[in-house]
């Protein structure tokens, strides 16, 4: 994916109340930062932010944190966020360091259209690989819930195996989400793919 540079991205991040440059600063203190004990839902690789922002607007009793490692992408997300939300933060960070950002504080993880890393030698980089599933164990609070959407069938099937081997129980699986149950809140990628009738694979699982 070619990333289009955003002019003044540093200023956009600096001047936004939603932006956090180093998530590890608030490890073990996220509920204090939000000022409540509401559930925390995170989206790892939030892209331009449509999904996480719309969820925050629709669900004021849930705290949302989006994580994205590219400055230009996170700047675009910040430009979309309305000023009145008090249940949203966006972190610039790499998923590899997710366990440095949270310590048994997260209730729900979204993995939306993650990089499929198609080459077998790169499968360990997938966000549903055993390496990441072990990291997630250390950041979940009580319940462990992962919700995943992808247009990549190989990543979908791989993830089903990995989740199952790691003790997750599947509550919902779809090979064509928008045909089976059109979601009310979508991602930018999802809108693009569904408009072309490309199947969206979906997993909702709990450990």
State the catalytic residues: 115
Distance CA 66, CA 152 (A): 22
The token pair that represents 132 in the structure block: 């990441």
| φ and ψ of 148, to 5 deg | -130, 140
Which letter does DSSP use for residue 140 in this model?
B
From the centroid of its chain, how far is CA 188?
A: 13
Q: Which two tokens stand for residue 188?
A: 């930018």
Q: How wide is the angle at C-alpha 169 spanned by C-alphas 186 and 207, nearest 5°? A: 90
């Amino acid at each position: 994916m070619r990333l289009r540079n955003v002019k003044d991205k540093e200023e956009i991040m600096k001047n936004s109340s939603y932006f956090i440059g180093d998530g590890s600063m608030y490890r073990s203190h996220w509920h204090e930062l939000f000022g409540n004990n509401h559930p925390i839902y995170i989206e790892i690789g939030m892209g331009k932010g449509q999904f996480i922002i719309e969820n925050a607007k629709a669900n004021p009793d849930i705290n949302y944190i989006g994580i994205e490692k590219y400055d230009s992408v996170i700047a675009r997300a910040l430009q979309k966020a309305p000023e009145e939300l008090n249940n949203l933060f966006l972190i610039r960070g790499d998923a590899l360091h997710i366990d440095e950002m949270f310590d048994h504080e997260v209730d729900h993880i979204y993995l939306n259209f993650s990089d499929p890393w198609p080459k077998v030698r790169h499968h360990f980089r997938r966000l549903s690989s055993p390496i990441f599933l072990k990291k997630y164990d250390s950041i979940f609070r009580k319940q462990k819930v992962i919700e995943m959407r992808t247009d990549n069938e190989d990543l979908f099937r791989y993830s089903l195996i990995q989740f199952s081997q790691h003790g997750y129980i599947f509550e919902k699986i779809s090979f064509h989400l928008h045909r089976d149950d059109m979601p009310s809140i979508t991602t930018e990628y999802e809108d693009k793919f569904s408009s072309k009738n490309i199947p969206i694979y979906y997993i909702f699982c709990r450990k």
